[in-house]
Amino acid sequence: MDRELALEFVRVTEAAAIACGRWMGKGDKIAADQAAVDAMRQAFDSVSISGTVVIGEGEMDEAPMLYIGEKVGAGGLEVDIAVDPLEGTNLVAKGLPGSIAVIAIAPKGGLLHAPDMYMDKIAVGPAAAGKIDINAPVRENLKAVASSLNRKVEDLTVVILDRPRHSKIIQEVREAGARIKLISDGDVSPAINAAIEGTGVHMLLGIGGAPEGVIAAAALKCLGGDMQAKLWPENEAEVERAKQMGITDINKVLTIDDLVHGEDVMFAATAITQGDLLRGVSYFGGGVRTHSIVMRYKTGTVRFIDAIHKLDRKPLFIKRS
């Protein structure tokens, strides 16, 4: 993949964010998600790739577009694509921070075909890469991260989804002395934040979606961060589903290279609502402003793109902010 594709991928996430952002705070997560899906799917038609959706909105009989196996793009290099047109549907519906439109791209076979089930995850930034162990006690991982950052455990902030299933690790983090930021939805953004200095996030812990885990792993790989994960099936049907998708050892610790392998990996995201790293979509007379990030593992390049889009033919009066 050449670097010119990076901007094309950003246009895809921008389209989803702009369409979805109109639904912020309106209480309809289904309409918000549909707007993002429709816009993202249409935007892919102009991208110079022959893409296959390997992580998307569901199976063909569950989703009319961006379904697993769907072919997208205007033709070109064959790639696998993981998409989440709206990560954090409830966040948009309630007008809460942290929702993004996001895609990850890799050469064919470069992304784990993760089944739609839960996944236990631990994610950290570059300084702590190689120093985490998902099977180790929470306290030990906190000590390892603190040491890598040359700070005390009490100085760390850990992001955890606010779910009853996390009561034990929440207690363990508190007993160790670290601070916690509980979130209601969307664990891709905080995984990225853990790998970028200045966001105030140092680690992501807990059980979230497996497809989201692969998308987050793509970003972390580009940023030099690290992730370990284990599938967390709730029943035998999910175990069988994983086996059908090629994951024979359900208890295997999945490294970041298991989740995303190869060097030619790209990641793009556009904020929909305000976040720790990216500003949310803002609308004004005749236009809209978006804030995006795009990364490429092969070159180590990370770009932040602050864009203004005209929605009509009238001149825009742009104010610096």
Which pLDDT does position 314 carry in this prediction? 61
Per CATH, is 118-259 categorized as 3.30.565.10? no
Cα end-to-end span (Å), the chain: 34
164 annotated ligand-binding residue: yes
Same fold, 4-109+265-310 and 118-259: no
Among 252, 264, 195, 255, residue whose Cα is nearest residue 225: 195
Q: Percent of the chain beyond pLDDT 70?
A: 96
Confidence of residue 114 (pLDDT cuts 50, 70, 90): confident
Question: Do strands 226-232 and 254-255 pair parallel, antiparallel, or not at all (unpaired)?
Answer: antiparallel
Which pLDDT does position 63 carry in this prediction? 78
For 211-237, the DSSP string reads: HHHHHHHHHHHHHT-EEEEEEE-SSHH
In the predicted structure, residue 315 carries a pLDDT above the cut 60: no
In the predicted structure, residue 317 carries a pLDDT above the cut 60: no
For 230-283, the DSSP string reads: EEE-SSHHHHHHHHHTT---TTPPEEHHHHB-SS--EEEEEESS--SSSPPPEE
Query: Using one digit for the tens of pLDDT, what is the confidence trace for 141-197?
Result: 999 999 999 999 999 999 999 999 999 999 999 999 999 999 999 999 999 999 999
User: How remote is the C-alpha of 179 from its chain's centroid?
Assistant: 23
88 annotated ligand-binding residue: yes
165 annotated ligand-binding residue: yes
Query: Using one digit for the tens of pLDDT, what is the confidence trace for 32-43?
Result: 999 999 999 999
The stretch 112-138 carries a mean pLDDT of: 95
84 annotated ligand-binding residue: yes
In the predicted structure, residue 3 carries a pLDDT above the cut 80: no
In the predicted structure, residue 304 carries a pLDDT above the cut 60: yes
Q: How far is CA 132 from CA 75, 76, 165, 192, in A?
A: 40, 39, 21, 16
The stretch 229-236 carries a mean pLDDT of: 94
Question: Rounded to an integer, what distance in angstroms lies between the CA atom of residue 246 and that of residue 240?
Answer: 10
In the predicted structure, residue 308 carries a pLDDT above the cut 60: yes
In the predicted structure, residue 220 carries a pLDDT above the cut 60: yes
Size of the chain in residues: 321
Which pLDDT does position 318 carry in this prediction? 55
57 annotated ligand-binding residue: yes
212 annotated ligand-binding residue: yes
The stretch 83-106 carries a mean pLDDT of: 96
Domains of the chain, residue spans = 4-109+265-310, 118-259
118 annotated ligand-binding residue: yes
What single-letter amino acid sits at 88? G
Q: pTM for the whole thing?
A: 0.93
The pLDDT mean for the chain works out to 93
Which pLDDT does position 64 carry in this prediction? 86
Which pLDDT does position 313 carry in this prediction? 60
209 annotated ligand-binding residue: yes
In the predicted structure, residue 2 carries a pLDDT above the cut 90: no
110 annotated ligand-binding residue: no
In the predicted structure, residue 316 carries a pLDDT above the cut 60: no
133 annotated ligand-binding residue: no
45 annotated ligand-binding residue: no
**CATH number of this structure's domain 4-109+265-310:** 3.30.540.10
Query: Using one digit for the tens of pLDDT, what is the confidence trace for 243-298?
Result: 888 888 899 999 999 999 988 999 999 999 999 999 999 999 889 999 999 999 99
